[in-house]
Amino acid sequence: MDKPEVKGKGIFSASLEDGLSTDEFIKGLWRDNPVFVQVLGMCPVLAVSNTAINALAMGLATAFVLLMSNILVSSLRNFIPKQVRIASYILIIATFVTITDYAIQAISIELHKSLGAFISLIVVNCLILSRAEAFASKNSIGNSILDALGMGVGFTFALFCLGAVREIFGNGTIFSFPLFAENFQEWIIMILPAGGFFTLAAWLLIFNIMKKRKLST
């Protein structure tokens, strides 16, 4: 039986409210975390997580592109031909990456220089393309928004966890604020590429231990 049409609401509003599930949001934070579970987007995760501010900025930029591309892909899912869907998704993603690139450049030139080419590389981030292909192209706008928010927040959280640890031990600061006395000896390796691998391995270990304990209780 068809659902009764709600007076005063358009197609977009109805799509937002159709079968919303908070599980789509929660899964990105914990069960299917894009970094700690799916191990996606390792290029920016390891490259720009040398400080907390860089990690947070990259996470938020990726989350914005993911959210907007999911909305547009879900909105156009019935109009994009299957033969050109991947090319269409990349074009949509590239549009929002360009917007993000110029926005970061307008906000802070120093931050833009710190993130460098990795802003543009959001276009080929497998997390964004996979959510467009596997989820947004098959689900309503509302659920696609929840999915993007969950995955985006989960990705940002994971990046911040890495960035905070690397900055604290590598520079003795957090968001450039000193945490230790002047005689603190920085662990220079933590802000080098090797430090990214060590920190990621440690967080993966902690995350897996926590998941196993939760399953066993």
Q: Higher-confidence residue: 5 or 88? A: 88
pTM of the model: 0.86
pLDDT tens, 89-122?
Answer: 999 999 999 999 999 999 999 999 989 888 988 9
User: How would residue 3 be classed by pLDDT, with cut points 50, 70 and 90?
Assistant: very low
pLDDT at 6 over 80: no
CB 44 within 8 A of CB 125: yes
Q: Which residues of 190-205 are buried (b: 16+ CB within 10 A; e: fewer)?
A: bbeeebbebbbeebee
User: The tokens of 22 are what?
Assistant: 């908070």
Residue 125 and residue 22: Cα distance in Å, rounded?
A: 25
pLDDT at 7 over 70: no
Domain extent listing, the chain: 22-216
User: How would residue 21 be classed by pLDDT, with cut points 50, 70 and 90?
Assistant: low
Name which of 206, 92, 121 is nearest 158 in CA terms. Answer: 206
pLDDT tens, 137-169?
Answer: 999 999 999 999 999 999 999 999 999 999 999
